[in-house]
């Protein structure tokens, strides 16, 4: 039986910039940085160590951001949404959607420096 998610792949235009954002700004840890053929295999791990995010070099054009919910395929969680929003905003993280209550619960949306959007919800 499936027991959870181990890795997700996130396409980025610049791996060094993405690594800096995810480790220094977001507080993830570097899990792996290794040659991968002519490329680079780069992984960061969430603070709870449950998911590894592979920062893969984007091939082709950046996809357009969806206009309707859901606006991301990746949902992160936090213990305190308003506090996390304030902390990350003070670090320069862009939030196209500040915390708001929806029929399905509280959520927010932030962007990385590569233009990828992510949902942020309180832990239930």
What is the maximum alpha-carbon separation in the chain?
A: 47
Residue 69's pLDDT is: 53
Read off the DSSP letter of residue 62: P
Q: What is the mean pLDDT of residues 39-51?
A: 94
Q: Are 79 and 122 in contact (CB under 8 A)?
A: yes
Which of 26-57 are b and which e, b meaning 16 or more Cβ less than 10 Å from the residue's Cβ? bebeeeeeeeeeeebebbbbbeeeebbbbbbe
Q: pTM above 0.75?
A: yes
pLDDT digits (tens, 9 = 90+) for 66-86: 565 556 778 899 999 999 999
Domains and CATH numbers, the chain: 7-57 (3.10.180.10), 75-122 (3.30.720.110)
């Amino acid at each position: 039986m499936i027991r959870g998610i181990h890795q997700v792949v996130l396409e980025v235009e610049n791996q060094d910039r993405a690594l800096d954002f995810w480790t220094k700004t977001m507080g993830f840890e570097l899990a792996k940085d290794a040659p991968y053929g002519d490329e680079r295999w780069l992984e960061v791990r969430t603070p709870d160590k449950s998911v590894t995010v592979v920062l893969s070099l984007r091939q082709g054009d950046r996809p357009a951001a969806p206009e309707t919910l859901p606006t991301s395929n990746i949902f992160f969680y936090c213990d305190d949404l308003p506090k996390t929003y304030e902390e990350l905003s003070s670090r320069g993280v862009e939030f196209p959607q500040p915390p708001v209550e929806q029929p399905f619960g509280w959520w927010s949306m932030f962007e990385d420096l590569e233009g990828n959007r992510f949902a942020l919800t309180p832990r239930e």
